[in-house]
Amino acid sequence: MNVTAPTDHVDVIVIGAGFAGITAARDLHEQGYSVLVLEGRDRLGGRTWYREFPGTSTCVEYGGTWFSTAWMTSLAREIARYGIEVVDQPSPQSFLWATGDDRRTHAPIPAGEFGVAEKTIVALHEAMRRTPGGGLDADEDYRDIDVACSDWAPIRDLPAASRDFAYGWAAMYGGCDPADVSVLHYTRMLAEFGNNVTALYDGLAQKFAHGTRSLIEAMAEPIADHIRLSTTVRRVIDTGGLVRVCCDDTVLTADRVICTIPINVLNNVEFEPALPENVSAAASFGHKCMSIKAWARTRNVPDGLFGLAWPAAIQWVSNEYPLDDGTSLVVGFGYDEAELDATDVDSVAAALRHYAPDAEVLAVDTHDWTADPFSAGAWSIWGPGWVVDGHADAFTAPHGRVHFAGSDVAVRWPGWIAGAIDSGTQVAAEVRSTLRRIS
């Protein structure tokens, strides 16, 4: 690699063409700065990917999908700006709540457990109030709630069905075992939804009528000539005067770099000077969201079925798209590849029969975000200790001329598409404040 012969110079190089990178690059371009987006994959969108389910003409989301414009104002703003069509998530026509060996189709937990479950809801609300509006309070001691969901007494000590119901939601939203996700991760998120436990359900209120692609392509359109796909960044060198960004066969320079690389793969890139210890420690801590989003073309799954189960190979299931031939496309979320092989018809069929005993699976498809070298995981979640060990603050300050952004490190809506957009907007403003305006 030739690091002494830069081929190009721009004001800002943005690493990553997901929602964070495209938002930041678009904003800076509009404000008159020269930008270049370097993206390792051969497509835009990062951890969103809308494409056809094989053998059908129906496109589905393999990554990020749902949102709520009522709460996620940065995303709502972009949707309105480009006139992107969104649809409401249809109301389920039937429910299946499976905990232990029990199946319920009406109340999610047994009526006899309502009273004790209410105490847990109160405890959740008390925790939510400690992150007003979803923000962390520097003066607050979070040690009692920055703990694993499975270690937190108000959940752990519930009667079995209610505890398993809570674990099912924790596993689905965490894409991991409830032992690997912090209570604080959820209570902060629910606070951002206006202190609302039912946001676990209501937050998935809408999706794009024509996929996430419809929005990111609209946002990227003005900077299309400034995006290089299939260009993986290997090394970032801050010389003190400018930044050299080294890819496989080229070196580019910029006054500033915005790095939106997912935290689970950040340490794959070499930084000179080396990343501060707190940043590389946070990246090593990473997140444990290894969600497996399994799509299946099925028969005999009830129309509009929505289900949640624990323990189960698939913790959350939704019958999303009825097709003309009487089959339907069903999506399920699991996290344990020992329990669920989303590329295998029999494995997915066995998992779906937990919800629909007569389910037949004709075809399956998925994207393995955990094996993907550009993500090494799905969406970001806070593992136990993320906040009290100081990782949540690690990415707020720039490292010399390198600024960090992305939904993994977002202050608002971390882990969501909205968080990526919010973080992209903020980092563009931060970088702008450090650069001389050129037009």
Instruction: List contacts with ligand FAD (CB under 6 A).
Output: 15-21, 38-41, 46-48, 63-67, 232-233, 260-262, 265, 269, 291, 293, 369, 374-375, 378-379, 406-407, 415-418, 420
CA 255 from chain centre, in angstroms, equals: 30
Q: How far is the CB of 353 from ligand FAD (least distance, A)?
A: 23
Tell me how many degrees the CA angle 391-395-401 measures, rounded to the nearest 5: 150
Q: Is the Cβ of residue 150 or residue 318 nearer to ligand FAD in the bound state? A: 318
Q: How far is the CB of 113 from ligand FAD (least distance, A)?
A: 29
- CA diameter of the chain: 72
Q: Is the Cβ of residue 167 or residue 379 nearer to ligand FAD in the bound state? A: 379
Q: How far is the CB of 328 from ligand FAD (least distance, A)?
A: 19
Contacts of residue 324, defined as CB under 8 A and 6 or more positions apart, other chains included, come to: none
Q: How far is the CB of 196 from ligand FAD (least distance, A)?
A: 17
Residue type at 391 in one-letter notation: H
Q: Is the Cβ of residue 40 or residue 174 nearer to ligand FAD in the bound state? A: 40
Angle at which helix 114-128 crosses helix 160-174, to 10 degrees, equals 40
Q: How far is the CB of 326 from ligand FAD (least distance, A)?
A: 27
Q: How far is the CB of 375 from ligand FAD (least distance, A)?
A: 5
Residue nearest to ligand FAD (CB): 46
Q: How far is the CB of 117 from ligand FAD (least distance, A)?
A: 26
CA atoms of 185 and 51, how far apart (whole Å): 30
Instruction: To the nearest 10°, report the CA torsion of 419, 420, 423, 425.
Output: -120
For 413-439, give one letter per residue: b (16+ CB within 10 A) or e. bbbbbbbbbbbbbbbbebbbeeeeeee
Q: Is the Cβ of residue 186 or residue 379 nearer to ligand FAD in the bound state? A: 379
Q: How far is the CB of 247 from ligand FAD (least distance, A)?
A: 7
Q: How far is the CB of 336 from ligand FAD (least distance, A)?
A: 15
Q: Is the Cβ of residue 355 or residue 374 nearer to ligand FAD in the bound state? A: 374
- Contact between 373 and 171 under an 8 Å Cβ cutoff? The reply is no
- End-to-end CA distance of the chain, in Å? 34
Q: Is the Cβ of residue 147 or residue 216 nearer to ligand FAD in the bound state? A: 216
- Contact between 175 and 378 under an 8 Å Cβ cutoff? The reply is yes
Residue 103: enclosing H or E segment and its boundaries?
strand 102-104
Q: How far is the CB of 364 from ligand FAD (least distance, A)?
A: 15
Q: Is the Cβ of residue 339 or residue 360 nearer to ligand FAD in the bound state? A: 339
Q: Is the Cβ of residue 176 or residue 261 nearer to ligand FAD in the bound state? A: 261
Q: Is the Cβ of residue 38 or residue 254 nearer to ligand FAD in the bound state? A: 38
R_g over Cα of the chain: 22
- Could you write out the DSSP letters of every residue in 360-424? EEEEEE---TTT-TTTSSSS--PPTTTTTTTGGGTTSS-BTTEEE-SGGG-SSSTTSHHHHHHHH
Q: Is the Cβ of residue 142 or residue 295 nearer to ligand FAD in the bound state? A: 295
Contacts of residue 278, defined as CB under 8 A and 6 or more positions apart, other chains included, come to: 390, 391, 393, 394
